[in-house]
Structure formats: structure tokens, C-alpha cells
Structure 1
């Protein structure tokens, strides 16, 4: 379980960096990533 949590934290950090890099971008991929993060935070 700890390993899964560590992997998830790394993925979250990567996703956050991607969002920050492309903040002005409103492509479909950008919106998909934002929605995926939002869904993860709600669970």
C-alpha cells in the first residue's frame, strides 16, 4: 500500500507540473487531465 501511495504522489506531482506548464492551453488533453485530477480529489 505504501508503494502505491508513493507512486500516486509522484503521478500527482507530474500532473501538477504539466498543468502549470500549460495553464493557458485549453486543449482537450489539458481539460481531460484537469478533470481526472478533479475526480481523484473528490474520492
Structure 2
């Protein structure tokens, strides 16, 4: 959805600049779609 690499997403999550993931299982995570869309809209507003 974002076009970002996995390593960039995790680095930005650590920095607090990308929404946190939701753990579904021991090896499965998701992100809240609304949180990601809101984040993308905020990024577009800052450009």
C-alpha cells in the first residue's frame, strides 16, 4: 500500500513516525488500514 520496504517501515515504527503493528500470531502482523491511510494523508499534506 505504501511502496516502502519492510526495513524502512520497521525503522520508522521504532522512530515513532509510522503506525505500530498489531500482532496476530507469533509470526503474523498487520496494520490498521485507517492508521496507515491517515499516515499517508499526513505525509502528502507535508509535501
Q: Structure 2 length normalisation: TM-score? A: 0.34
The answer to which structure has the higher helix fraction is 1
The answer to which structure has the higher strand fraction is 2
Q: Structure 1 length normalisation: TM-score? A: 0.37
